[in-house]
């Protein structure tokens, strides 16, 4: 059976930390921030850590096991 190709788009958007967590940027960070309150703008700065099934899928798409 052939190897699965890794997805470049996923490799650009996420990274795997040394401990194996999948970390990415949050959505809604591009523009139109004036309408959002300060609390949500601050919360959006923090990276999102994927867990469970999504983390497994992203790892597999990046070429990991």
What distance in Å separates the CA atoms of residue 49 and residue 19, rounded to the nearest whole number?
Answer: 12
Selection from 37, 36, 9, 41 nearest residue 24 by Cα: 9
What are 28's two structure tokens? 């809604």
Categorize the per-residue pLDDT at 2 as very low, low, confident or very high, splitting at 50, 70 and 90.
confident
* 10 vs 65, residue with greater confidence: 10
What are 36's two structure tokens? 């959002």
Cα angle value 51/57/59 (rounded, 5°) = 85
For the cut 80, the answer to whether the pLDDT of residue 65 exceeds it is no
pTM value is 0.78
* Cβ-contact 5, 61 below 8 angstroms: no
Domains of the chain and CATH, by start: 8-61 (4.10.410.60)
Selection from 53, 49, 56 nearest residue 26 by Cα: 49
For residue 38, the model assigns a pLDDT of 96
Categorize the per-residue pLDDT at 4 as very low, low, confident or very high, splitting at 50, 70 and 90.
confident
């Amino acid at each position: 059976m052939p190897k699965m190709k890794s997805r470049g788009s996923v490799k650009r958007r996420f990274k795997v930390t040394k401990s194996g967590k999948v970390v990415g940027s949050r959505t809604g960070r591009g523009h139109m921030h004036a309408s959002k309150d300060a609390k949500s703008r601050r919360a959006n700065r923090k990276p999102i850590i994927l867990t469970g099934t999504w983390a497994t899928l992203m790892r597999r798409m990046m070429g990991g096991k």
